[in-house]
């Protein structure tokens, strides 16, 4: 990159200076840690937005996913079905619980392929009656290959798309599996058709989790939120994220812990950003939409290039933009285009290296993965920040076209 050249980041925060007033209040009052009014206020705002009765804040999306798996009963030796095309933080918590991921393919919208998910449960698994420690017999889904119990599915809503939740929930019901929605990238996306019409990403499965990392659509610097339609799960989440500290006044004074929890609660400093950011969400989504349409218009008709559309059955938050490069038709490899953009000051990156090919997961089971390889090889993520200007979009498109 040359000096003085334009620099366009991939995905950066959009923070208003008025937030400083909230931070000042935290500092002046000393409420900087895991207690304070902004935490409750932010939880309530997210719950209201998501349409749930309550929401439980945490330190990160990863912490939220970990807590959720624990609540859903994922235990050592269990298996959890996950998509391979995802940020690795969606999968790591499975292993934190001592369980094993089983990797499946994605569909054309980057989310878990529900046909293959159904086929896996149907052909590769079987129901067995298993006696638990108390002597109760329960019908459980067992992976024929490993002999392990399948406990849950993690549906990751990639880039602001949403997994086909109608299919996921149908499969979960048929096979007795829990559903965790990784909605870390999809705050603001909701279903517009069918059985779950109107439901926000994260509120359809048993538990859903949002992230407020700096690259997400709204940010608290780092942080997450657990949502659910089940108050029981939310109560458990609140208890576990505050080190399983008992709430009754006498016990609270003595710090009685009747379980092993986590120190996962969000800080008031983080929430001080959140309460302001959530008010901007709808505005951010319309900016994302506008910039996506600008890219689409600017890049239309270029042989071998396709800005991938979001699934039409939802209102997407259009968080991340994905460009598919058909190297033969376009006449340039995805990586060559990527380096040309980077050299011109445009931050971009290939879609994730597939999780089942990462060193720590290479030995674990994967099932009929095809589409994800195609996307891994050919998809490029291009700048999508909400402070991206029309000029920026045009600049990026010029570089793309100027080969």
Ligand X SMILES: *Cc1c(COP(=O)(O)O)cnc(C)c1O
- Give the interface with ligand X as residue ranges (CB under 6 A): 60-62, 86-87, 89-90, 156, 182, 184-185, 211, 213, 224
CB nearer to ligand X: give 57 or 344: 57
CB nearer to ligand X: give 82 or 399: 82
CB atoms within 10 A of CB 96: 14
C-beta separation of 106 from 371 below 8 A: yes
CB nearer to ligand X: give 156 or 171: 156
CB nearer to ligand X: give 78 or 185: 185
Q: Which residue has the CB atom at the shortest distance from ligand X?
A: 61
What does DSSP say about strands 321-325 and 379-382: parallel, antiparallel, or unpaired?
Answer: antiparallel
CB nearer to ligand X: give 228 or 355: 355
User: Residue 235 burial by CB count (10 A; 0-12/13-18/19+): exposed, middle or buried?
Assistant: middle
Tell the smallest beta-carbon distance from residue 91 to ligand X (Å).
Answer: 9
CB atoms within 10 A of CB 342: 14
Q: Rounded CA gap, 60 and 220, in Å? A: 10
CB nearer to ligand X: give 201 or 305: 201
Tell the smallest beta-carbon distance from residue 3 to ligand X (Å).
Answer: 33
Q: Take residue 158 and report the two structure tokens written for it.
A: 């990639």
CB nearer to ligand X: give 97 or 211: 211
Tell the smallest beta-carbon distance from residue 110 to ligand X (Å).
Answer: 10
CB nearer to ligand X: give 46 or 305: 46
According to the 3-state scheme, what is the secondary structure of 165-216?
A: HHHHHHHHHHHCCEEEEECCCCCCCEECCCCCCCCECCCCCCEEEEECECCC
Tell the smallest beta-carbon distance from residue 63 to ligand X (Å).
Answer: 7
Tell the smallest beta-carbon distance from residue 101 to ligand X (Å).
Answer: 13
CA angle 133, 138, 142 (to 5 degrees): 100
From the list 295, 325, 301, 302, the residue with the least C-alpha distance to 394 is 295
Determine the 3-state secondary structure of 364 from DSSP: coil
Tell the smallest beta-carbon distance from residue 128 to ligand X (Å).
Answer: 32
C-beta separation of 308 from 381 below 8 A: no
CB atoms within 10 A of CB 155: 31
Q: Take residue 368 and report the two structure tokens written for it.
A: 């009929």
Instruction: Name the one residue in this structure whose structure tokens are 């119990």.
Output: 149
Tell the smallest beta-carbon distance from residue 153 to ligand X (Å).
Answer: 15
Tell the smallest beta-carbon distance from residue 70 to ligand X (Å).
Answer: 16
């Amino acid at each position: 990159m040359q000096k003085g050249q334009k620099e366009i980041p991939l995905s950066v925060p959009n923070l208003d200076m008025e937030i400083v007033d909230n931070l000042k209040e935290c500092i002046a009052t000393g409420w900087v840690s895991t207690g304070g009014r902004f935490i409750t206020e932010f939880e309530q705002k997210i719950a209201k937005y998501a349409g749930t009765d309550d929401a439980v804040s945490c330190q990160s999306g990863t912490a939220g996913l970990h807590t959720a798996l624990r609540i859903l009963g994922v235990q050592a030796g269990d298996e959890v079905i996950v998509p391979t095309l995802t940020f690795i933080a969606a999968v790591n918590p499975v292993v934190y619980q001592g369980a094993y991921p089983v990797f499946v393919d994605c569909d054309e919208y980057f989310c878990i392929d529900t046909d293959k998910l159904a086929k896996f449960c149907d052909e590769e698994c079987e129901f067995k009656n298993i006696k638990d420690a108390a002597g109760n017999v329960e019908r459980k889904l067992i992976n024929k290959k490993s002999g392990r119990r399948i406990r849950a599915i993690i549906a990751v809503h990639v880039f602001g798309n949403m997994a086909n939740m109608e299919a996921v929930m149908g499969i979960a019901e048929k096979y007795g599996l829990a559903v965790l929605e990784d909605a870390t990238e999809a705050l603001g996306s909701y279903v517009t058709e069918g059985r779950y019409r109107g439901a926000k990403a994260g509120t359809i499965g048993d538990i859903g989790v949002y992230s407020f990392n700096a690259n997400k659509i709204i940010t608290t610097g780092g942080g997450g939120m657990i949502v659910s339609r089940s108050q029981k799960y939310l109560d458990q989440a609140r208890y576990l994220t505050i080190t399983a500290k008992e709430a009754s006044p006498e016990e609270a004074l003595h710090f009685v812990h009747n379980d092993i929890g986590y120190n996962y609660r969000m800080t008031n400093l983080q929430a001080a950003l959140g309460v302001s950011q959530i008010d901007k969400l709808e505005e951010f989504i319309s900016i994302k939409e506008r910039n996506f349409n600008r890219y689409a218009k600017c890049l239309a008709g270029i042989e071998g290039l396709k800005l991938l559309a979001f699934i039409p059955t939802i209102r997407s938050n259009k968080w991340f933009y994905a460009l598919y490069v058909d190297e033969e038709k376009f006449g340039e490899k995805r990586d060559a285009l990527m380096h040309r953009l980077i050299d011109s000051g445009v931050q971009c990156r290939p879609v994730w290296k597939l999780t089942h090919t990462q060193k720590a997961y290479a030995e674990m089971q994967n099932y009929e993965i095809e589409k994800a390889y195609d996307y891994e090889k050919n998809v490029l993520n291009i700048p999508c920040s909400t402070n991206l200007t029309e000029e920026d979009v045009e600049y990026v498109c010029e570089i793309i076209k100027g080969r």
